[in-house]
A and B are shown apart, each in its own frame.
Chain A
């Protein structure tokens, strides 16, 4: 791998940028691998990288239906945070936030990582109580949350001029989660792909998995059928977010997942006006400002299961109206683009990182917007694949919890309801 540095930039600038080596190869598809990972998104590529780096397993193929990093890793609002509710969840996300902090250096790739706090604008007492509960629970796991009063909140977010005492929902307080950050989403996929490729992992784009294959004798996983022929492996990981059930349905494996569409949109670029991630849980909108100056705005998921990846007019209008209640001056902003992503959510709103009833088949699913979880999700899934036992951080995320009806309820942590 050609390392990126000021010197490589200067050298390539002098030669007219004609001699950069490719960030990853496109080798021909082999017949057999040790591990097949379905889905070259954030989680899939991170898993491949940690398999190679931490466990020395490099005979790995990452199969991608479309193009690398074209799924939910390109369709999110890039927020990294760890303000979860349950003892089982918080340490995992704390680890993920920590891995993100060191990722630019580790992968030799500028992720444009920017630590900037997330501030919840709290407008009802039940929400205030709930977030205070998160604060106390977070304290136990070094995931900080702190309360600020309205004056301080308005000082930190000067454009927050709505929500006064006469409004429908007056602002009560702000809750600050200081370890929250944003970073460039494409760079996460590209950097993991480049680093995994450098260690010998093969990435195959435009290779759609049509179905999973099982051994006829013992029922264990045997490989996958793709649009480029059959590929064999004893271990297959399904890391395809919203389409998990579409893949596992091909061998009749039932998972407690539902897929929904979550959309977001961006405004025209403006001067720097907001330097934190603003989350307004009571009215259902969140926003941050990208390095280009665009406001990245998200709202609630669509009602009803969906694989359409678009935005519904009334969902969009609700998010805009909610935002204007608190940020009235934004009504003059023009909105540039919108997108949707197919997210899956488990029965209890906690992710699934697990072996399945089919030997050799692993799933990483139910992330409901797993951008924040990419490094730790890959780290722990690689551990599970390599050693056939759960990493301690994801031991509670096993499918076995459903068999015991022992749920980790995380609804309310995300925009999911």
Chain B
């Protein structure tokens, strides 16, 4: 079980959150101008590292905000959480 730091509510139990998938790269600006392979990679290929991955979580059973954490996929250690700005 993870203890996830919500930028608004602070550290909370994982069961309050919904997982939102790995963070995607920025969407290419002009899709009509880029190579097909670049676009397909953007659409279908996620990052799947054996190590730190950035991922989105939703504090649905709390304040409702979306945020990004960096978590190690080998140990589940949360290395970095987004802080409220």
Q: Does B75 contact A (CB under 8 A)?
A: yes
Name the distance in Å between B32's Cβ and chain A's nearest Cβ: 16
Q: Does A229 contact B (CB under 8 A)?
A: no
Q: How far is the CA of A254 from the CA of B15 in the complex (A)?
A: 32
Contact of B73 among A255, A259, A303, A402 (CB under 8 A): A259
On chain B, the residues within 8 Å of A304 by CB distance are 2, 19, 55, 71, 73, 76
What's the count of A-B pairs with C-beta under 8 Å? Answer: 59
On chain A, the residues within 8 Å of B36 by CB distance are 403
Within 8 A of A (CB), among B33-72: 36-37, 40-41, 43-46, 48, 50, 53, 55, 71
Contact A308 B14 (CB under 8 A): no
Contact A402 B40 (CB under 8 A): yes
Contact B44 A402 (CB under 8 A): yes
Q: How far is the CA of A303 from the CA of B18 in the complex (A)?
A: 8
Name the distance in Å between B74's Cβ and chain A's nearest Cβ: 5
Name the distance in Å between A228's Cβ and chain B's nearest Cβ: 21
Contact A305 B14 (CB under 8 A): no
Contact A347 B44 (CB under 8 A): yes
Within 8 A of B (CB), among A321-353: 344, 347
Q: Does B22 contact A (CB under 8 A)?
A: yes
Q: Does A258 contact B (CB under 8 A)?
A: yes
Name the distance in Å between B79's Cβ and chain A's nearest Cβ: 13
On chain A, the residues within 8 Å of B75 by CB distance are 308
Q: Does B1 contact A (CB under 8 A)?
A: yes
Q: How far is the CA of A304 from the CA of B17 in the complex (A)?
A: 11
In this complex, which of A259, A303, A304, A344 has the most chain B Cβ atoms within 10 angstroms of its Cβ? A304
Q: How far is the CA of A313 from the CA of B2 in the complex (A)?
A: 10
Contact of B22 among A246, A254, A305, A344 (CB under 8 A): A305
Q: How far is the CA of A243 from the CA of B46 in the complex (A)?
A: 14
Contact of B48 among A257, A303, A308 (CB under 8 A): A257
Contact A256 B73 (CB under 8 A): no
Q: How far is the CA of A66 from the CA of B17 in the complex (A)?
A: 35
A251-272 vs B, CB cutoff 8 Å, 1 = contact: the mask equals 0001111110000000000000
On chain B, the residues within 8 Å of A307 by CB distance are 50, 73-74
- Assuming A308-B74, A313-B1, is B50 touching A258 (CB within 8 A)? no
On chain A, the residues within 8 Å of B40 by CB distance are 402-403, 405
Q: Does A105 contact B (CB under 8 A)?
A: no
The chain A residue sitting closest to B46, CB to CB, is A258
The chain B residue sitting closest to A259, CB to CB, is B48
23 CB contacts below 8 A, A to B, read A243-B50, A246-B50, A256-B44, A258-B46, A258-B48, A303-B14, A303-B17, A303-B18, A303-B19, A304-B2, A304-B55, A304-B71, A304-B73, A304-B76, A305-B48, A306-B76, A307-B50, A308-B74, A312-B14, A344-B48, A347-B45, A403-B40, A405-B40
* Known A246-B50, A308-B76, A405-B43; 8 more pairs at CB < 8 Å: A245-B48, A254-B41, A257-B48, A259-B48, A304-B76, A305-B53, A307-B74, A308-B75
Listed from nearest, the 3 A-B pairs whose CB atoms lie closest are: A303-B19, A256-B44, A245-B48
